[in-house]
């Protein structure tokens, strides 16, 4: 979800880098109709079936908050397309809002973040060259988030930022979302013009995580959207083709009121995989820690754009003493998710300030394993490129 980085330019290959607050790796006249309940699923463990709690699927528009800024309980649930309106009137200083885009190409990975934390805004552009492991970062802090306007609903309006070090434009078009960037740091320049396409019948995951009536988060994760265009860093041009199976974009849209101390896991990847009936386009959306005990998860699969919701909390195993050792992520009560993540690079962030502290390790690498969709189809895959992270925040 949120991360951070320090302005750097082309340098020697590295396993990670520290930095400042950046890639931030959150009215009651609508009400939801009677939500559809996702059926309980169970898994065979030791020959016995464990039930998984049901989650509500929302089908109609609903406001995230009441007029006084508290959670609208009718908004708690998940949906296959954005239905929430996230106008959060209060409390100032506790609201977290961001649009994060992760773009994967055969030659690079680009993170683009526009964030508003009330007391601070941030625009961050980061790139990893997948061959050399060299990185580019341009981070622009914006006091009091002046000039940063983020929509209350996914893709409801263009997002613009223009500063001396970075220019960013995010626009909705007929075919999808266009990301345009022109950023400078350390004597180097990064330009990008990427269209993250939206295939017909493509679904996303929106879910509200209810910690309490005062603390809650709406997140939309839009995974496995084919991307086309280019990213240029200096003299190196990275091409993206929507039909190559390896170029895609991921949206993390966050709006909420967070507790002062937070921690989470997040993983995402996409690419071609093998299903029961042949080749499929697969997207992985995997979360952990921050949703435990709320009755909701942000876990899902996307098979040819169709969402399969996973209501189980995942078991994440990794070694924080060595982030580049393989990770395993599994559903403990079923065989729906059984994957191994093998990192090749750790984007390391450490922030220590009076009001803000963070420790984020966003690792990039490949996923392999098996997943099972809602239809019971077992899907196998190797070397899906993506990321997995652990984040701890005091903010």
**CA-to-CA distance for 288 and 292, rounded, in angstroms?**
7
Token pair in block for residue 105: 């190409």
- Give the residue-averaged pLDDT of 320-344: 98
**CA-to-CA distance for 9 and 326, rounded, in angstroms?**
29
Q: Are residues 204 and 309 in contact, defined by beta-carbon separation less than 8 angstroms?
A: no
Residue 326 has pLDDT above 80, yes or no: yes
pLDDT score recorded for residue 358: 87
Token pair in block for residue 392: 């701890």
The phi, psi pair for 74, rounded to 5°, reads -70, -15
Provide the sign of the torsion angle of the four alpha carbons 243, 383, 224, 345, taken in this order: negative
Number of domains in the chain: 1
pLDDT score recorded for residue 45: 33
Q: Please name the residue that has the structure tokens 């997002």.
A: 159
Residue 257 has pLDDT above 50, yes or no: yes
- Give the residue-averaged pLDDT of 252-268: 95
Lowest mean pLDDT among 15-19, 147-151, 254-258: 15-19
Residue 21 has pLDDT above 50, yes or no: no
Percent of the chain with pLDDT over 90: 80
- Give the residue-averaged pLDDT of 245-259: 97
**CA-to-CA distance for 264 and 117, rounded, in angstroms?**
18
Which neighbouring-strand residues pair with 362? 347, 389
pLDDT band at 51 (very low <50, low <70, confident <90, very high): low
Q: Please name the residue that has the structure tokens 């009651």.
A: 28
Provide the sign of the torsion angle of the four alpha carbons 289, 214, 222, 177, taken in this order: negative
pLDDT score recorded for residue 29: 27
* pLDDT tens-digit map of 55-81: 999 999 999 999 999 999 999 999 999
- Give the residue-averaged pLDDT of 5-32: 37
**CA-to-CA distance for 338 and 315, rounded, in angstroms?**
10
Residue 33 has pLDDT above 60, yes or no: no
Cis status, amide bond into 91, omega within 30 of 0: yes
**Mean pLDDT for all residues in the chain:** 89
pLDDT score recorded for residue 39: 36
Residues ≥6 apart with Cβ < 8 Å to 357: 351, 393, 394, 395
Outline where DSSP puts E strands in 70-119.
78-79, 84-85, 95-104, 108-116
Percent of the chain with pLDDT over 70: 87
Lowest mean pLDDT among 174-178, 277-281, 308-312: 277-281
Count of alpha carbons within 13 angstroms of residue 277, beta-carbon side: 7
- The CA-to-CA distance between both ends of the chain, in Å, stands at 14
Spatial CA neighbour of 113 closest among 254, 11, 207: 254
Lowest mean pLDDT among 149-163, 255-269, 295-309, 345-359: 345-359
- 3-state secondary structure (DSSP) of residue 73: helix
Its domain, for residue 287, covers 4-394
* pLDDT tens-digit map of 207-240: 999 999 999 999 999 999 999 999 999 999 999 9
- 3-state secondary structure (DSSP) of residue 75: helix
- Global pTM reads 0.88
Say how many C-beta atoms besides its own lie within 10 A of residue 19's C-beta: 22
pLDDT score recorded for residue 196: 98
pLDDT score recorded for residue 53: 62
pLDDT band at 27 (very low <50, low <70, confident <90, very high): very low
- 3-state secondary structure (DSSP) of residue 42: strand
pLDDT band at 141 (very low <50, low <70, confident <90, very high): very high
Token pair in block for residue 96: 């977290």
Q: Are residues 296 and 78 in contact, defined by beta-carbon separation less than 8 angstroms?
A: yes
Which neighbouring-strand residues pair with 86? none
Residue 31 has pLDDT above 70, yes or no: no
Strands 62-63 and 84-85 turn out to be parallel
């Amino acid at each position: 979800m949120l991360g951070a980085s320090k302005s750097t330019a082309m340098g020697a290959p590295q396993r990670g880098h520290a930095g400042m607050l950046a890639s931030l790796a959150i009215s009651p006249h609508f009400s939801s109709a009677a939500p559809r309940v996702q059926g309980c699923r169970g898994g065979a463990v030791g020959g016995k079936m464990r039930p998984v709690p049901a989650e509500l699927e929302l089908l109609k528009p609903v406001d995230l908050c009441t007029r006084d800024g508290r959670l609208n309980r009718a908004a708690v649930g998940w949906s296959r397309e954005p239905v929430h309106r996230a106008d959060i009137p209060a409390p100032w200083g506790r609201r977290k809002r961001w649009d994060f885009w992760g773009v994967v190409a055969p030659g690079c990975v680009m993170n683009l973040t526009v964030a508003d934390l009330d007391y601070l805004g941030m625009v961050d552009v980061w790139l990893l060259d997948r061959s050399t492991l060299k990185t580019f970062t341009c981070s622009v802090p914006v006091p009091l988030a002046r000039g940063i306007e983020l929509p209350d609903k996914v893709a409801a309006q263009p997002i613009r930022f223009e500063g001396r070090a970075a220019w960013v434009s995010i626009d909705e078009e007929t075919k999808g979302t266009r990301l345009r960037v022109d950023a400078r740091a350390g004597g180097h320049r990064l330009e990008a013009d990427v269209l993250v396409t939206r295939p017909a019948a493509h679904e996303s995951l929106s879910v509200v995580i209810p910690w309490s009536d005062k603390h809650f988060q709406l997140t939309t994760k839009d995974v496995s959207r084919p991307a086309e265009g280019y990213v240029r860093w200096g003299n190196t041009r990275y091409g993206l083709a929507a039909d190559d199976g390896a170029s895609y974009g991921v949206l993390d849209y966050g709006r909420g009121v967070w507790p002062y101390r937070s921690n989470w896991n997040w993983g995402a990847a996409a690419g071609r995989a093998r299903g029961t009936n042949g080749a499929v386009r697969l997207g992985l959306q995997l979360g952990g820690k921050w949703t435990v005990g709320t009755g909701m998860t942000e876990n899902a699969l996307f098979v040819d754009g169709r969402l399969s919701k996973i209501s189980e909390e995942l078991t994440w195993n990794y070694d924080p003493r060595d982030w580049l050792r393989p990770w395993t992520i599994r559903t403990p009560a079923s065989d729906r998710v059984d994957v191994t993540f093998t990192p090749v690079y750790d984007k390391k962030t450490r922030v220590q300030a009076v009001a803000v502290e963070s420790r984020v390790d966003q690792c990039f690498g490949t996923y392999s394993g098996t997943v099972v969709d809602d239809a019971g189809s077992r899907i196998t895959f190797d070397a899906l490129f993506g990321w997995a992270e652990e984040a701890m925040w005091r903010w």
